[in-house]
Amino acid sequence: MIVPIRGKVGDLASIYSFNETGSLIWQTLETPKSLVELIELIEAEYSVDREQAESDATRFLNDMLAVGLVEVCSNVPMPTMESSTLELSAGAD
């Protein structure tokens, strides 16, 4: 469960609860990871095909990017989520 902090106060109206895959991605993003690394992690952890792993990772990351809970770490403009060079990290303060 994630409670965003805004103005040094927890925003209880915006609490996020993750499923198992989302929790795995979130914990993994303690250090920056590429989209490819996240997809490979999901494939290995849940024995799913690449298409499913990519769909799950992309959906989760798009949702988290939209609310500012992850950020792109590269110095290049934001690519599409299909880019294999995208690096992300959690906990944008």
- Residue 39: the pLDDT is 96
Q: What would the two tokens of residue 53 be? A: 């792993």
Cβ neighbors of 21 (< 8 A, separation 6 or more) are 42, 46, 56, 60
Domain boundaries defined on the chain? 5-90
* pLDDT tens per residue, range 18-66: 889 999 999 999 888 999 999 999 999 999 999 999 999 999 999 888 8
Annotation: CATH topology of 5-90: Arc Repressor Mutant, subunit A (1.10.10)
Q: Select from 18, 20, 28 the least CA-distant residue to 63.
A: 18
